[in-house]
Amino acid sequence: MTILAIEHVQLAMPAGEEEKARAFYRDLLGIAEKQKPPHLAKRGGCWFEDGPVKIHLGVEAEFRPARKAHPALVVDDVRALAERLKAAGVRVVEDEPLEGWDRVYADDPFGNRIELMTPKG
C-alpha cells in the first residue's frame, strides 16, 4: 500500500458564512467553486477546486480557526497575491525565511491560517 496524493484539504468555517468563503477563495485566490453534491450541500460550506488544488470548507458547529495547522499553496507570484490580499483587508504575515521559497501567511475570513509560497530562482 502506498499513499499517492492528497485528494483535498478540508478547513472548518462557521455556519452561514459561504459568501465570505467565496469572496476569499474564489474571488481573491482565484480557485473556482465546485458545486457540492446535493446530499452534502444541505450541510452548508463550500468546495473550491482547480485541477489538483482542492480546498473544501465544512461548517463546524463550535467553530475555532486553525491558527497553526494550515494548507500551503504554491502560487506563481506570492508578492503580487500578498498585495492583492492586503488591499482587500486580509491580514498577511511575513515569516522566517525558508530556503528556496518566498512565502507569507494569510488569514482566511474565519481566521484559518493559509501559507502562500513561490519557489525562488
Tell me the C-alpha distance between 36 and 47, whole Å: 6
> Which residues lie below 8 Å from residue 35, measured CB to CB, with a gap of 6+?
41, 47
What's the pLDDT tens digit per position in 46-55?
Answer: 999 999 999 9
Per-residue confidence (pLDDT) for residue 117, from 0 to 100: 97
Read off the pTM. Answer: 0.94
What's the pLDDT tens digit per position in 38-74?
Answer: 999 999 999 999 999 999 999 999 999 999 999 999 9
CA atoms within 13 A on the CB side of 45: 22
DSSP state of 98: B
Cell of 18: 459561504
What's the pLDDT tens digit per position in 10-42?
Answer: 999 999 999 999 999 999 999 999 999 999 999
